[in-house]
Amino acid sequence: MKKILALPLIALLFWSCSTNPLTGRQSLALVSNAQLFPQAFAQYNQVLGESEVDKTSADAKMINNVGQRIKYAAEKFYSEIGQGSALQGYEWEFTLIKNDAVNAWCMPGGKVAFYSGILPVCKDETGVAVVMGHEVAHALAGHSAEQVSNAMVAQGVMLGGNVAISNDEWRNVFNQLYPVGAQLGMLSYGRNMELDADEAGLYLMAMAGYNPQEAIPFWQRMQQASGGQAPPEFLSTHPSPGNRISQINSIMPKAMEYYNASPYKGR
């Protein structure tokens, strides 16, 4: 009896994996984009409404420009591998918020925010592209859906062959992960998701014509910004800069291939 009840769950877990085409990493996706995105869009607008948004400065325009370039590069890649439909429903937005925190984040469906506090660490447009590639990669890889899915499994929402998850059930989980209001810093991802976003983000910045080698000095600056003590917010939920830099070095040859083939290189 127990076995029979468990079957739908196993089948669901089996069929509900999604693969990041940039890295090959698999993740659990029990919540669809169609379910997740409207909730995330509403939450993003609420956060912006409670924040000091900068839409007009040169920095704000540059951040949007970098975001658009990386978005185009991602769309080109997905369409070339025959997965263009995976990007349906995304409503990309790249917003600068006046806030001293050294942070940036994304919400499902392509809603990205940069805090002005991270700009000195980025230093220039290519540094912004390191962070932007990372955030866009989180959005594309469905890391939020993975967090929600993992939490649903952990909380037993999925137990007892409960295949048809009600909207209330998954929304409760979503609201726990994304507390309502301007909870700065938003969702923290696991270490594996961070490294996955680093790798995919490095390829995306390279495809968009930004030199991926600049990611290494960026993470060194980020390490310095932490002063060896309480790390800035962007680091506190992330792998250590040393781990990131060694991974980035190991995948640099592949990133450089994307960079050298990029039609946007040198723009």
Active centre residues (catalytic): 135
Which 177-196 positions form the footprint of Zn ion (CB under 5 A)?
Answer: 194
With 0-12 / 13-18 / 19 or more C-beta atoms within 10 angstroms meaning exposed / middle / buried, residue 68 is: middle
Task: Tell me whether residue 192 or residue 220 sits nearer to Zn ion (CB atom).
Answer: 192
Q: How far is the CB of 104 from Zn ion (least distance, A)?
A: 8
Q: How far is the CB of 198 from Zn ion (least distance, A)?
A: 8
Q: How far is the CB of 263 from Zn ion (least distance, A)?
A: 27
Task: Tell me whether residue 144 or residue 262 sits nearer to Zn ion (CB atom).
Answer: 144
Q: How far is the CB of 134 from Zn ion (least distance, A)?
A: 6
Q: How many residues bind Zn ion (CB under 5 A)?
A: 2
Task: Tell me whether residue 93 or residue 198 sits nearer to Zn ion (CB atom).
Answer: 198
Task: Tell me whether residue 141 or residue 206 sits nearer to Zn ion (CB atom).
Answer: 141
Site string for Zn ion, 19-58 (x = CB under 5 A): ----------------------------------------
Task: Tell me whether residue 70 or residue 197 sits nearer to Zn ion (CB atom).
Answer: 197
Q: How far is the CB of 28 from Zn ion (least distance, A)?
A: 18
Catalog residues that contact Zn ion under the rule CB under 5 A.
Answer: 194, 197
